[in-house]
Every structure is written in structure tokens, then in C-alpha cells.
């Protein structure tokens, strides 16, 4: 009975933090809630970085992924050649942590992540993004969100929001994360470094997830 109540409450939740808490509680019972479907967040990504930037041009400098997505391309990075890598968001919180794929948030660094989503019908949606520091989001090559500042910002759930028209069929999401200054070291010594973001698509009327699939191999 308790599990059924948790399932019903989880299904009705639209707040991000509440959804994460309920999903954690459900997982603790042995259940397997699909957080990605519930939040409208892509699970499968490709990521590349870090590209080098200075403090002066970190917020404005563009790199090749902004003009063309070529997954076979190699780029000049901070410590040699860069290649696209497949990446998976964390099923526990739906965040994509690029640091898990060797992309470290050094002082002066840019990385990109991209995901393809597929809708059965066109819909008006709201894209919601959360990230520490700077984040830019494009949908089908149109810039829909940008937060650019030299000052650090805490990870605040669904902080950045914008209306977006999603067509039927495939849409390409591109996320740019920028670090202009070294991150303050907090927490326990030796704690893993994170460089993560959460992007999701919801109905502007209800806050519920926009249903989509992710094509294999994209």
C-alpha cells in the first residue's frame, strides 16, 4: 500500500525537487521509477571538451560544435585533441555530469553536450535548465537560453526557463557549459569533481513532462 501511494504521489508530482525525493524513496523500496520520462529529461547524450578559454573571452567565444555537429571531428582542446564521447545522464537525478567522461571544469574551459529527442506530434513546450555557473541551450540551432556571468551560481532547480516550439519528429538539443574562473573547493578533501547540468522539457500549462523518445545511434 505504501509503495502504491508513493507511485501515485510521484506520478502527480511536477516540482523537480519533490520528484527527485519521491523517486529516491521509491528506489529505496526496490521500485524502479523512470525519472527521465517523468521529468522530460534526455538520458542519452554526446559530450566533448574542454575547449580552452580565457577569463576575458570565456562567455563570448564560440567553438565548432555551435556551427556544426560532426561526431567524427577532432578539435584542439586544453590538453590535446578532443573527440565526442557518448554520455549517459545519472538515473538517480537525471543530471549529465561531463566530469565522469574526462571533461574537467578547469579554470577557463568550455564543453558541449548534445541530445536528440523525437516527438510524435508538434507541441509548445518549456525548456528548463539547471547548471552551476554558465549555461547556454540551443534547440534545433536556435538559441533559447543563455546565462552568462563571471560570478559563480549555485545549482538551482529549473532556474532558467524559456518557451520553445518542438516540431514533430527529431529535435537536436545542444548545451554549452562555461567555466571562466576556478571553482571554489568545498566539501570533503578528495571528493569527486562535478560539472553537471539538467535540461528538461515540460508542458507550459501543466508542468508535466513532454513525452519523447531518443533515436538509437544519434
Reported confidence tier of residue 41, pLDDT bands at 50, 70, 90: very high
Cis before 50 (ω within 30): yes
Would you state the pLDDT for residue 183? 53
pLDDT per position as a tens digit, 182-197 = 555 444 555 667 899 9
Would you state the pLDDT for residue 153? 64
Mean pLDDT value of segment 79-97 = 95
Would you state the pLDDT for residue 185? 44
C-alpha cell at 197: 547540468
pLDDT per position as a tens digit, 59-73 = 788 999 999 999 999
Ramachandran angles phi, psi of 101, nearest 5°:
-110, 25
* Residues 191, 171: Cα–Cα separation, whole Å: 36
Predicted structure pTM score: 0.92
The DSSP code sequence of 152-216 is: -----TT-EEEEEEEPSEEEEEEEEEEE-SPPPP-SSTTPPP--EEEEEEE-TTT-PBPP-B--T
pLDDT per position as a tens digit, 112-144 = 999 999 999 999 999 999 997 789 999 999 999
Amino acid at each position: 500500500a505504501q509503495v502504491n501511494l508513493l507511485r501515485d504521489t510521484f506520478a502527480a508530482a511536477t516540482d523537480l525537487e519533490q520528484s527527485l525525493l519521491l523517486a529516491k524513496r521509491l528506489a529505496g523500496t526496490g521500485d524502479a521509477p523512470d525519472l527521465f520520462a517523468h521529468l522530460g529529461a534526455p538520458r542519452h547524450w554526446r559530450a566533448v571538451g574542454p575547449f580552452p578559454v580565457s577569463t576575458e573571452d570565456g562567455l563570448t567565444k564560440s567553438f565548432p560544435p555551435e556551427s556544426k555537429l560532426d561526431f567524427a571531428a577532432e578539435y584542439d582542446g586544453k590538453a590535446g585533441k578532443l573527440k565526442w564521447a557518448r554520455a549517459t545522464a545519472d538515473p538517480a537525478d537525471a543530471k549529465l555530469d561531463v566530469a565522469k567522461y574526462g571533461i574537467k571544469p578547469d579554470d577557463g574551459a568550455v564543453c558541449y553536450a548534445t541530445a536528440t529527442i523525437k516527438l510524435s506530434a508538434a507541441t509548445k513546450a518549456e525548456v528548463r535548465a539547471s547548471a552551476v555557473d554558465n549555461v547556454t541551450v540551443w534547440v534545433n540551432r536556435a538559441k533559447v537560453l543563455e546565462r552568462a556571468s563571471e560570478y559563480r551560481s549555485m545549482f538551482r532547480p529549473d532556474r532558467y526557463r524559456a518557451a520553445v516550439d518542438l516540431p514533430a519528429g527529431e529535435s537536436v538539443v545542444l548545451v554549452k557549459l562555461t567555466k571562466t574562473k576556478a571553482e571554489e573547493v568545498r566539501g570533503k578533501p578528495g571528493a569527486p569533481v562535478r560539472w553537471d547540468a539538467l535540461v528538461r522539457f515540460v508542458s507550459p500549462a501543466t508542468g508535466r513532462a513532454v513525452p519523447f523518445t531518443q533515436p538509437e545511434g544519434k
